[in-house]
Amino acid sequence: MKTKAVRLYGKNDLRLEEFDLPEIKDDEILARVVSDSICMSSYKASIQGEAHKRVPEDIAENPVIIGHEFCGDIVKVGAKWQHLFKEGMKFGIQPAMNLKRNPYIAPGYSYQYIGGDATYIIIPSEVMESDCLIPYDGESYFKASLAEPMSCIIAGYHENYHSKYETHTHEMGIKEGGAVAILAGVGPMGLGCVDYGIHGDRKPSLMVVTDIDQARLDRAATLLTVEDAAKNGVKLVYVNTSTVEDPVAYMKELNGGKGFDDVFVYAPVSALVEQGDALLGENGCLNFFAGPTKTDFSAKFNFYDVHYAFHRITGTSGGNTNDLKEALKLAGEGRINPSIMISHVGGLDSVIDTTLNLPNIKGAKKLVYTHISMPMTAIADFEELGKTDKFFADLDAICKRNNGSWSDEAVKYVLANAKKI
């Protein structure tokens, strides 16, 4: 079978190519990719090439398919896995397999025949052996594509901890019924963090979300409303800290003058980390979620409070398989809405430019449908483009019916009407 895929040959060397897939072996699975969301990690791998820790050294001769946030349908199952997987099943992938032979090997970085930016792929046996091919029961492929970044967010909630001094044990997870602050929390991952905090099983009673961009805060407030949070038992407050003279004092006042039990920092800014430290209450935990690019990134931390007020700090990078399963389950049940993370949509032929220029493209997550040809286009630009193009006019109307967000209705329209790749 032929496939079309974006393959990495070296630093900044991505190519969209058509080539033949080999016949699957008895321990492999043939699959059709439907959607993939582009991650900053793919940008890092693409600019670093073989110097990246997940990318093989021989990609000039044996290029790899990029993309690791993908979903699709199983087409054919090798004999070894027919008791677990069936043709036609939807699936999601946990790329962090943590193989004993090499913990860095992952789909979307390390393999010739599996990655999200392709029409068809071959899933190797070690993905199934690692329990990283996960059935998905939801209707929307894009929600499963976004399950991987959502799993990272879920991991952050699970990774936070609070000390129980009497037994010298750690109670894992955010403090139930406590106060959570999410700093720089209205980017794509921050929105997911707010969504999960409102709709997950373990909820705070107060959630304060900050940013310095009022337009982004206003958009967040329409997507994740104060009213819906209240229905779920969470008091949600959005704060523009650039308009407040003393953000720490202001936010503590929102919490009755007390510090916060859990603080998430979603931007790699030293001053923001220090603000998060100052916001912590007794036995509070700060989660540094943002991944810095500088290896010497640092910030001040109050160790007087570490000693006397039991302040804790942790960080998370990626989720595990259970986190991904939880993300897929919640998305499939409609309890979380990953569509709020999507700002741009495109086809397979948009992947190269989008990936290599990702830091310069404003907005949130960039979603790819691998069987269509379409420039990477901001949802916010559909209206203007629709003045001369009925395709975008129709998409604009659909998105407006869905609170300006991507939706199942939009997916159906695109897959039926967009130009095929």
Give residue 147's pLDDT band: very low, low, confident or very high (50, 70, 90): confident
What pLDDT is recorded for position 321?
86
Residues 334-341, mean pLDDT to the nearest whole number: 88
Q: What does the pLDDT read at residue 137? A: 83
pLDDT at 294: 81
- The predicted-structure confidence for 50-107, as pLDDT tens digits, reads as follows 999 999 999 999 999 999 999 999 999 999 999 999 999 999 999 988 899 999 999 9
- With contact defined as beta carbons under 8 Å apart, do 261 and 285 qualify? yes
Question: CB-based burial of residue 345 (10 Å sphere; 0-12 exposed, 13-18 middle, 19+ buried)?
Answer: buried
Say if residue 409's pLDDT is above 80: yes
pLDDT band at 298 (very low <50, low <70, confident <90, very high): very high
Task: Write down the pLDDT at residue 278.
Answer: 98
Work out the average pLDDT over 416-420. Answer: 96
* pLDDT given at position 121: 98
The sign one gets for the Cα dihedral 360, 361, 364, 368 is: negative
| 98, two tokens | 């943590």
- CB contact set of 66 (below 8 Å; sequence gap of 6+): 6, 7, 8, 14, 42, 45, 46, 108, 109, 115, 116, 117, 351, 355
Query: Is residue 160 pLDDT above 90, yes or no?
Result: yes
State the average pLDDT over residues 291-308.
91
Q: Check residues 363 and 24 and name the one with the higher pLDDT.
A: 24
pLDDT in tens, 249-274: 999 999 999 999 999 999 999 999 99
Average pLDDT (144-159) is 91
What is the pLDDT, as a whole number, of residue 331? 85
Average pLDDT, the chain: 95
- Is there a contact between 128 and 29 (Cβ–Cβ < 8 Å)? yes
Residue 359 has pLDDT above 80, yes or no: yes
Cβ–Cβ under 8 Å, residues 64 and 115: yes
Averaged pLDDT for residues 385-400: 97
Can you tell me the distance from the alpha carbon of 370 to that of 420, in angstroms, rounded to the nearest whole number?
9
Among 59-63, 364-368, 370-374, the minimum mean pLDDT is found in 364-368
pLDDT tens, position by position, 301-318: 999 999 999 999 999 877
pLDDT over threshold 80, residue 417? yes
Handedness of CA 164, 168, 169, 174 (dihedral sign): positive
Specify the pLDDT at position 165: 86
The string of pLDDT tens digits covering residues 113-134 is 999 999 999 999 999 999 999 9
Q: Which residues pair with 122 in a beta bridge?
A: 30
